[in-house]
Amino acid sequence: MHTELQDHLGYSFNDPALLRLALTHPSVAHEKGAPLQTNQRLEFLGDAVLQLVLTRELYEKFPAFGEGPLTKARAKLVNRRTLAEHARRLGLGRELILSKGEEMHGGRERASALADTFEALMGAIFLDGGFDAASDFVLRQFLPAFGELSALPILENPKGELQELLQSLSPEAPRYHVASATGPDHDRIFECTVHHAGSELARGTGKSKKAAESEAANAALRKLRQRKEVGV
């Protein structure tokens, strides 16, 4: 049962009924109008497994990151759109067990259904093979994303992150200054510096003052984290 899918997953179920349950969309129960198990409970379990595996990996991989950046990185990894993409790559859509109505309305490609099925699959693997099996599977799926994270930490608000980091050391907030603005009015390049406790931490450039400040904050964060890693 679902041999091709299991080959694609790189995981063979000891109990194939768990895989079938993970693929059973709630619409089937509504269509039959009778009590029927669907993947909703497995989705609930799988969400917790996924969060724990990724949280531990982020915690161990980025020892210099605080709670704020780690939480944002995890949120990026487990948002619904990202999980739906993982489900598409695995071909879960064509394996879904759907009601006729859901099938007619494009349920196999619906992002919410795909994301839910991916989480349900995590729950099924956890129940079937234990935490190590689930962890191995999750990390195989997310390995490329962790490569990107190591190259460029996910920081939606570098100025806010920098302020949070510095104010954990002293009450003084970072200060930004425009060091230069060059080029014609329609194509200006700004260079900004960021200072703390009387010292310049870093510089950044950008097409606007805001962009240059963000670049300076990012550069400062990288320097501060490198120092922390080497114990400076």
**Selected catalytic residue, list 43, 119, 213, 215:** 119
Contacting residues for 24 by C-beta, under 8 A, at least 6 apart = 36, 37, 38, 39, 97
Judged on CB neighbours under 10 Å (0-12, 13-18, 19+), 110 is: middle
Contacting residues for 13 by C-beta, under 8 A, at least 6 apart = 6, 19, 124, 125, 128
Residue keyed to tokens 């400062």? 220
Task: Tell me which H or E stretch contains 134.
Answer: helix 131-151
Residue keyed to tokens 């390995």? 143
- Return the DSSP state at 200: E
CA distance 202 to 115: 40
Identify whether 119 is a catalytic site residue: yes
Identify whether 116 is a catalytic site residue: no
**Selected catalytic residue, list 43, 47, 128, 161:** 47
Residue keyed to tokens 């839910």? 116
What does the DSSP assignment read for 106-125? Answer: TGGG-HHHHHHHHHHHHHHH
Residues recognised as catalytic: 47, 119
